[in-house]
Amino acid sequence: MSDKTLHQRCILEVDSNSDFSIYNLPYGIYATAHKSKRAGIAIGNYIIDLSELYDTGYFKEKIKQNVFTGEFLNDFIALGKDVWSYVRQSIQILLTDESLFLPLKEKIIDIQRDATMYLPIQIGDYTDFYSSEEHASNVGKMFRPNGDPLMPNWKHMPIAYHGRSSSIITTGQSVKRPHGQYLKGEEIVFGASQTLDIELELGYIIGKENKLGEPVPVNHASAFVFGCVLLNDFSARDIQRWEYQPLGPFLGKNFGTAISPWVITYEALQTFSVAAPEQTPSVLPYLAQTDRNNFDIELHFDIETKNKQAANVAISNSKYLYWTIEQQIAHHTVNGCNLRVGDLFGTGTISGKEKNSFGSLLELTWNGKEKIKIGDEERTFLQDGDTTILKGYCRKGDIRIGFGELRNTII
Ligand code: CA
Cα of 323 vs centre of ligand 1, distance in Å, is 14
Q: Are residues 94 and 142 in the same domain?
A: no
Q: According to the model, what pLDDT value does residue 3 have?
A: 78
Classify residue 9 as left (phi > 0), alpha (psi -120 to 50) or beta: alpha
Cα of 127 vs centre of ligand 1, distance in Å, is 9
Ranges of residues in the chain with a pLDDT under 70 are 1-2
As a whole number of angstroms, the distance between CA 341 and CA 324 comes to 20
Q: Are residues 279 and 187 in the same domain?
A: yes
Cα of 70 vs centre of ligand 1, distance in Å, is 30
Of 118, 139, 172, which one is at a domain's C-terminal end? 118
Helix or strand (DSSP H, E) at 75: helix 74-77
Of 55, 84, 118, which one is at a domain's C-terminal end? 118
In a domain, 298, yes or no: yes
Q: Are residues 113 and 149 in the same domain?
A: no
Cα of 1 vs centre of ligand 1, distance in Å, is 47
Q: Are residues 240 and 348 in the same domain?
A: yes
Q: According to the model, what pLDDT value does residue 44 have?
A: 98
Neighbours of 162 (CB within 10 A): 13
Q: SS3 of 52, please?
A: helix
Q: According to the model, what pLDDT value does residue 65 have?
A: 96
In a domain, 359, yes or no: yes
Q: Are residues 108 and 137 in the same domain?
A: no
Cα of 201 vs centre of ligand 1, distance in Å, is 7
Q: Are residues 86 and 138 in the same domain?
A: no
Q: Report how many domains make up the chain.
A: 2
Instruction: State phi, psi for 157 to the nearest 5 degrees.
Output: -160, 150
* Ion ligand 1 residue ranges (Cβ < 5 Å): 128, 199, 233
Q: Are residues 98 and 149 in the same domain?
A: no
- 3-state secondary structure string across 259-288: ECCCEEEHHHHHHHEEECCCCCCCCCHHHC
How does strand 196-197 pair with strand 293-295?
Answer: unpaired
- Active-site positions read 135
Domain that holds residue 366: 128-409
Q: According to the model, what pLDDT value does residue 2 have?
A: 59
End-to-end CA distance of the chain: 53
pLDDT in tens, 158-167: 999 999 999 9
**Residue 166 sits in a domain of what CATH number?**
3.90.850.10
As a whole number of angstroms, the distance between CA 69 and CA 333 comes to 32
Q: Kindly report whether the peptide bond that precedes residue 120 is cis, defined as omega within 30 degrees of 0.
A: no
Q: According to the model, what pLDDT value does residue 148 have?
A: 93
Q: According to the model, what pLDDT value does residue 98 have?
A: 97
